[in-house]
Amino acid sequence: MSGKIRLSKSSVSQAEKDAVVKVLDKEYLGMGEEVKLFEEKIKNYLETSMDVVCVSTGTSALHLALSALGLKDGDEVLVPSLTYIASYQAISATGAKPISCEINPNTLFLDVDDAKAKITKNTKVIMPVHYASSSKGMDEVYELAQEFRLRVVEDAAQAFGSKRDGKLVGTQGDIICFSFDGIKNITSGEGGAILSNDKEFIQKVQDARLLGVEKDTDKRYASQRSWDFDVKEQGFRYHMSNIMASIGIVQLDRLEDFKIKRQNIAKKYVQAFRHIEQIQTLDFNFDEVLPHIFVIKVDKRDELREYLIANNIECGIHYKLNHLLSKYKTDYVLPITEKIYEDILTLPCHFDLTEMEQDIVINRIREFYNA
Ligand X SMILES: *Cc1c(COP(=O)(O)O)cnc(C)c1O
- Based on the shown chain and the rule CB under 6 A, indicate whether residue 216 belongs to the binding site for ligand X: no
Tell me the C-alpha distance between 175 and 50, whole Å.
9
Sign of CA dihedral 31, 36, 37, 40: positive
Per DSSP, which regions of 12-90 are E strands?
Answer: 51-55, 76-80
CB of 147 to ligand X, least distance (A): 25
Pick the stretch among 17-25, 84-92, 106-114, 167-175 that binds ligand X (CB under 6 A). Answer: 84-92
CB of 222 to ligand X, least distance (A): 28
CB of 296 to ligand X, least distance (A): 18
Of 48, 134, 158, 196, the one binding ligand X by CB under 6 A: 158
- Based on the shown chain and the rule CB under 6 A, indicate whether residue 343 belongs to the binding site for ligand X: no
φ/ψ region of 60 (left if φ > 0, alpha if ψ in -120 to 50, else beta) reads alpha
Backbone angles phi, psi at 297, to 5 degrees: -110, 130
Identify whether the C-beta of residue 163 lies closer than 8 Å to the C-beta of residue 143.
no
Cα-to-chain-centroid distance, residue 141? 17
Query: Is there a cis peptide before residue 319, judged by omega within 30 degrees of 0?
Result: yes
Pick the stretch among 155-163, 240-248, 269-277, 306-314 that binds ligand X (CB under 6 A). Answer: 155-163
- Based on the shown chain and the rule CB under 6 A, indicate whether residue 281 belongs to the binding site for ligand X: no
Cβ nearer to ligand X, comparing 193 with 365: 193
Of 38, 45, 84, 351, the one binding ligand X by CB under 6 A: 84
- Based on the shown chain and the rule CB under 6 A, indicate whether residue 337 belongs to the binding site for ligand X: no
CB of 18 to ligand X, least distance (A): 24
User: What does the buried/exposed string (b/e) look like for 98-125 if buried means 16 or more CB atoms within 10 Å of the residue's CB?
Assistant: bbbbbbbbebbbbbbebbbebbeeebbb
- Based on the shown chain and the rule CB under 6 A, indicate whether residue 322 belongs to the binding site for ligand X: no
Cβ nearer to ligand X, comparing 238 with 368: 238
Burial class (CB in 10 A: 0-12, 13-18, 19+), 350: buried
User: How long is the chain?
Assistant: 371
- Based on the shown chain and the rule CB under 6 A, indicate whether residue 214 belongs to the binding site for ligand X: no
Taking residues 184 to 203 in sequence order and writing x for each that binds ligand X by CB under 6 A, - otherwise, the string is --------x-----------
- Based on the shown chain and the rule CB under 6 A, indicate whether residue 135 belongs to the binding site for ligand X: no
Helices 242-273, 14-26: inter-axial angle, 10-degree rounding: 160
Of 179, 196, 281, 346, the one binding ligand X by CB under 6 A: 179
- Based on the shown chain and the rule CB under 6 A, indicate whether residue 86 belongs to the binding site for ligand X: yes
Residues that bind ligand X (CB under 6 A): 57-59, 83-84, 86-87, 129, 155, 157-158, 179, 181, 192
